[in-house]
Chain A
Amino acid sequence: MKYKAKPLPPVELPDLRVVGKPLRRVDALGKAVGSTVYAGDFSMPNMLHGKVFRSSQPSARIKRLDVSKARELPGVICVLTAKDLPDAKLVTDMPGQTGQKRRAGTDAPVLASEVIRYRGEPIALVAAETLDIAEQALERIEIEYDTLPGVYDPLEAMKPGAPVVYEPDNIVATWKIRKGDVQAGMAMADMIIENTFSVPFVDHAYLEPEAGMAWMDDQNVIHIRVCTQVVEHFRSIARALGVPQNKIHIQGTFLGGGFGGKEDITVEIFLALLAKYTHRPVRLAYSREESIMAHSKRHPFIITHHTGVKRNGRITAAEIEMISDAGAYPYLSPYVLLYATVTACGPYRVEHLKVDSTSVATNNPFTSAFRGFGAAQACVAYEQQMDEIAKALDMDPLDVRRANYLSTGDRNATGQQMKSAVWLEETATRALETLGEKTSECGPIKVGQGFASYMQSYGRITWFHDTSRAWVGLELDGTAVIRCGVPDLGGGQVNTLCQIASEVLGVPLENFIIYSTDSALTPLAGTTTATRQLYMSGSAVHQAASEIRRVLLEYAQLHFEQDIENLELADGKVYVKSDPENFLPLAELTKMCAAEGLPLSNLALFKAPFTDPIDPETGQGDIFPDFTFGAHAVEVAVDTETGEITLLKSVGCHDVGRAINPIAVEGQIQGGSTQGLGYALMEEVQVVEGVIQTPSLSEYLIPTSRDLPTTKAIILESGTGLGPFGAKGIGEPSLTPAAPAVANALTNALGVRIKDLPLTPEKVLAAIEEAKNA
């Protein structure tokens, strides 16, 4: 065997009863029997149906917009245009958060008033008695455009004289890292390796298109039932509607997937507007085509690496340029770019580093959050570059990485010290060992193996001063309630909170009920984004449950006449550790505590570390609470006559700190890697002159059950994460290394590299041809 797993450092994990166990998720059975209610499943008496009228042009000025014929149609209750909502914007920039002030005022308008910047931009809203009437109303809206010159390529958009998407120029954001002396570092190198890599637009393709329903109550509060990753958008909606923040109430639902695509505002703003103007309940659900047209995409990037290396594989310096296509409006592009910038050189020690990154506006579909959030695109580039370095030096790809891997205590690209376990070699060697011997080749079929290591932050940017809140309470029969605003995207967010509280309180998991994702009735937990909920809300729940535990044990101490250390809460009772027969059911204990007036509920606030923004000139400073590390390895078979790639083996190995629920962690690794493998092999939103050529799931292909083998998930637990019980985050990290692993395996099979994802049969064949002719 070529690769042997590196022995793990000794880890002592506390023995736990509930945490770490592969329990059935609290939400699992409801979903399996089909009784879980999603945002599109609601209806109300007297309900109207909403529709959005969108631009057919990617770059134009509205010459004439006439909605009168739509308004006249019987059954149409309301047609809204930008005239009805002056200055209503989708504000994504919270005060003090971006460090990218130059782009103030470029937030997307709720409805376009004058200039159209992308195809599909919303122009008017309709509410009607039936869906058919609403659709007919759209056909009666008259619009004339003056076509404006558009710009559809970020490199073109950066040139002087290019059409400007909005003033003063097309630069949406820039970031810089200046560390050490790159010139001196390059001078020390034996070789300089230069490559440019690119990645395409990608759609989230969650199975549930955006949907929701809204209505107004007798206090003029607008209630919105919607699938969103961010119930805190109620504030932006209030601002856009010009109503007080306490008059917008978002009641989130279980999401049919999000992956970042339901992080920005989608249907909820339109629902709120239509409910406000009609005073009637309104339902709005996107078709798949409208979903693909209307929501963000993953940023395409062009990334150039110049890496100086010694013959022994050590990197002496790196100079990296990154350009991302922000599309028509900034949305979260500055932050996505920052994530890419911070991880531009990967989980490697690079003393002399220069990174320049730019996000550029175009008239393409707008881009924003997508699982991996820039760090995934960065990984596609840096891990291919590491293999190219290995090839240039005639070294083993693992050995090159070994010579450069960060270790605990080292500082990363921005000078932030790595405080938790940095198990890069541990995860890479395990993934490779498990991959095993290469499958033998046959005729035109070539086989290759490849892997990728990564670092991916969990928790939000620390100068965002992130917080989460959770409320935990015990009922008098010993059951428990959690209230926490966390939206559950399907990753098991609510179950995890229950499992944590169950561990702390000794209340069996099945005795928990959780109320979640409600902007008014559950304590605000922040966004389900940035792989932050286990860390943030998990910690808040842990804090609240621990406080109740303290109350229970202090009372039990008197009851049992025992020291707290001798008492345990588990399996629905409190008992003496040395004498488990001496116990009291929790139902009894809670009644006694209640009779004494003791608090059996607690609202906790958890704060992530707060830092100041990084130095804009050098990019130096702490940016994230912590990072997850791991690796993915794959084996591919390539048909050299057709260019078709078949994935034979796939292994993901990650240090998750502590697996709260191993089934859920495995699910994240399986699901995340599948998205990453799809990114490598087939996924691309093709855009020509601002027009999406892959408008539905017939053209936009994601992996089916026949496309990929089961990923072998190897879960390591260093216990060093910042989350509850030492957990790190795994939601985004599971995706990040999969795509570059495939690219590296393909190169291993063929000896040539395709630097542009996805690796379609046609590109593979062209690369083989080129190598033959060279």
Chain B
Amino acid sequence: MQPKMITLTVNGRKHQVALNPDETLLNALRQLNYTDVKNGCEKGDCGACAVLLNGKAVNSCLVLAWQADGSEILTNAGLGTMDNPHPIQEAFADAGAAQCGYCTPGMIISAKALLDQNPHPSEEEIREAISGNLCRCTGYAQIITAIQIAAERIAASALVGSGQGGKQ
């Protein structure tokens, strides 16, 4: 077993790291201090470690870091910050969708993947999209509300942005 230099672009930042083949993307990201990617089960059951890998939401515990060599990775922390949160993050805060907050980063990643594909999802579509993200605190209700609020806000700001609404 020999380490190999691989390149991971995480939240827009390029990292070159020497990793052993048995390192999962989850562990690699956490070692690079992306600790918003949470370890909940390491078997793909809980979704706490979800990231966007080249735009697709995946369990980072089920990806070997080498398999992600050269990939673009987006974690929840890459979406926004305390000063400039992403509309989904803002909606999660407003709707009470984060209780303990441990499932939240993965949950928001699944929400982001959904809204990227389907900007106006139904409740059923939201339930399906987050069905791989376990939450033990909220019972999912406020998470679903948050994703609905986020969808509305993103649509509204797109209208403003395209000049079809708001002030010119």
Contact = CB atoms under 8 A, between A and B. Distances in A.
B42 to A, nearest CB: 6
A3 B40 CA distance: 44
Contacts of A711: 139, 141
Interface residues on B, range: 35 or more
A663 to B, nearest CB: 4
B76 A31 contact: no
A29 B76 CA distance: 12
B100 A254 contact: yes
A705 B138 CA distance: 10
B131 A706 contact: yes
Given A207-B134, A256-B101, A705 B127 contact: yes
Given A32-B92, A664-B96, A38 B82 contact: no
Interface stretch (B2-10, B65-73, B102-110, B159-167): B102-110
B134 A492 contact: no
A621 interface: no
A295 to B, nearest CB: 14
B136 A287 contact: no
B3 to A, nearest CB: 13
A258 B75 CA distance: 25
A490 B41 contact: no
B77 interface: yes
A35 B139 CA distance: 23
A704 B131 contact: yes
A492 B79 CA distance: 24
A490 B100 contact: yes
Contacts of A208: 38, 40, 100, 102
A574 interface: no
B115 interface: no
A285 B97 CA distance: 26
A667 B96 contact: yes
B142 to A, nearest CB: 6
B46 A207 contact: yes
Given A34-B36, A34-B75, A696 B96 contact: no
A529 interface: no
Given A33-B76, A257-B136, A696-B41, A207 B93 contact: no
Given A287-B42, A288-B40, A705 B130 contact: yes
A31 B104 contact: yes
Interface in B109-168: 126-128, 130-144
A30 B80 CA distance: 11
A342 interface: no
A627 interface: no
A772 B82 CA distance: 61
Nearest to B128: A706
Given A207-B46, A490-B101, A674 B139 contact: yes
A41 B131 contact: no
Contacts of B38: 38, 207-208, 256
Given A33-B76, A207-B103, A667-B142, A28 B131 contact: no
Most buried by B among A31, A32, A672, A702: A32
A708 B139 contact: yes
B135 A41 contact: no
A517 interface: no
Given A31-B101, A254-B101, A698 B43 contact: yes
A675 B108 CA distance: 22
B109 to A, nearest CB: 10
B74 to A, nearest CB: 12
A471 interface: no
B35 interface: yes
B24 interface: no
B140 A705 contact: yes
A80 interface: no
Interface in A653-671: 663-664, 666-667, 670-671
A24 B85 CA distance: 14
Contacts of A675: 136
Contacts of A696: 41, 43, 45
Interface string A482-501: 00000001111000000000
A766 B141 CA distance: 33
A23 to B, nearest CB: 10
B140 A34 contact: no
B134 A697 contact: yes
Chain A, interface SS category: loop
Contacts of B141: 666, 670, 710-711
A141 to B, nearest CB: 22
Given A25-B96, A33-B80, A208-B38, A667 B138 contact: yes
B100 A256 contact: yes
Given A34-B76, A663-B95, A666-B96, A207 B135 contact: yes
Contact of B139 (A37, A285, A288, A670): A670
B85 A697 contact: no
A708 B123 CA distance: 12
A205 B141 CA distance: 19
Most buried by A among B40, B81, B86, B128: B40
A195 B80 CA distance: 56
A259 B134 CA distance: 16
A40 interface: yes
A28 B91 CA distance: 10
Contacts of B101: 27, 30-32, 36, 254, 256, 490
A205 B43 contact: no
B48 interface: yes
A36 B98 CA distance: 11
B99 A667 contact: yes
A673 B100 contact: no
A207 B96 contact: no
A207 B134 CA distance: 8
A205 B137 CA distance: 10
Interface string A229-244: 0000000000000000
A3 B81 CA distance: 49
A730 B97 CA distance: 18
A207 B99 contact: no
A206 interface: yes
A257 B96 contact: no
B59 to A, nearest CB: 12
Interface string A33-62: 111111011000000000000000000000
Interface in A100-152: none
A256 B86 CA distance: 22
B89 A32 contact: yes
B41 A33 contact: no
B142 A33 contact: no
Contact of B93 (A28, A37, A704): A28
A376 to B, nearest CB: 16
A9 B105 CA distance: 44
Contacts of A673: 139
A255 interface: yes
A207 B49 CA distance: 11
A35 B97 CA distance: 16
A659 to B, nearest CB: 12
B131 A257 contact: no
A288 B131 contact: no
Contact of B136 (A32, A207, A664, A698): A207
Nearest to A255: B100
Given A205-B134, A208-B38, A256-B38, 13 more contacts: A28-B96, A31-B93, A31-B101, A31-B104, A34-B105, A207-B38, A207-B134, A256-B101, A285-B39, A489-B100, A667-B96, A670-B139, A705-B130
Which 3 A-B pairs rank lowest in CB-CB distance, beginning with the nearest? A490-B100, A34-B36, A31-B101
Interface of B: 35-36, 38-43, 45-46, 48, 75-77, 79-82, 85-86, 89-90, 92-105, 108, 126-128, 130-144
24 contacts: A28-B96, A31-B93, A31-B101, A32-B92, A32-B93, A32-B98, A33-B76, A33-B89, A35-B82, A40-B39, A205-B134, A206-B100, A207-B134, A254-B101, A256-B102, A288-B41, A288-B45, A490-B137, A491-B99, A492-B99, A666-B96, A675-B136, A708-B139, A710-B141
